[in-house]
Amino acid sequence: MSKILCIGLGKLGLIFSNILAEKKNIVYGYDINSSIEKKIKKNTKDLEPKLNYLINKNKKRFFFEKNFSISVKKTNYAFIIVPTPSLKNHSFDNQYIVQSLNSICKHLKYKRRYLINITSTVNPGSCNHFINYIEKKFKLKHGKEFILTYNPHLIALGSIYENVINSDLVIVGSDLPIGFKIIKNI
């Protein structure tokens, strides 16, 4: 059982974090949009047919978390599932990922190998940029205080559960064997 923080509970993040909870992990979900908590409580209709079923089933394993620093303290892993809209030059905009990294990394000084997984879709080269950014700005060492991995999803809206559970292909990117191992286990 792992303790996982999921940042971004939108179309992919809410159901994906509940899939992690269904697989017996303890999951703390965080989103800057607090109205998502109402959506979770009210069981409002969703495009994903399995979402409300999973939310009801996972009440003891999935928690909507309002306090970011506490959720980092309680967890060993964070999955970043925030938007990466396309820019005019067709690359992805990483600004929400960088915001999330800033929020996480200020709490990592005394953590050992806290895993940050980028679930959002990014361009080739972005993860190296994130690692350099964290090392420089927060004086943290990749492989020591944090590990960064990339595990994007190739899925279709409306069938996210089936597409994640029965994936034809799972992509995991990591510079460190330990990162690959952790994601594989999860």
Ligand X SMILES: NC(=O)c1ccc[n+]([C@@H]2O[C@H](COP(=O)([O-])OP(=O)(O)OC[C@H]3O[C@@H](n4cnc5c(N)ncnc54)[C@H](O)[C@@H]3O)[C@@H](O)[C@H]2O)c1
- The site for ligand X (CB under 6 A) is made up of 7-13, 30-33, 36, 81-84, 96, 99-100, 120-121, 153, 155, 157
For residue 75, which phi and psi values (nearest 5 degrees)? -115, 165
Secondary structure class of 181 (helix, strand, coil): helix
Min CB(157)–ligand X separation in Å = 4
Secondary structure class of 147 (helix, strand, coil): strand
- Tell me which residue has its CB nearest to ligand X: 10
* Residue of 92, 177, 78, 184 lying closest to 129 (CA atoms): 92
Min CB(183)–ligand X separation in Å = 16
Torsion from C-alpha of 116, 28, 61, 9, nearest 10 degrees: -90
Min CB(130)–ligand X separation in Å = 14
Beta carbon nearer to ligand X, 80 or 147: 80
Secondary structure class of 30 (helix, strand, coil): strand
Beta carbon nearer to ligand X, 86 or 178: 86
Distance CA 186, CA 179 (A): 11
Distance CA 19, CA 16 (A): 5
Min CB(150)–ligand X separation in Å = 11
Beta carbon nearer to ligand X, 24 or 45: 45
Beta carbon nearer to ligand X, 75 or 84: 84
- H runs (alpha helix) in 12-60: 13-22, 35-42, 51-57
Measured from the Cβ of residue 16, the count of other Cβ atoms closer than 10 Å reads 25
Min CB(72)–ligand X separation in Å = 12
Beta carbon nearer to ligand X, 32 or 176: 32
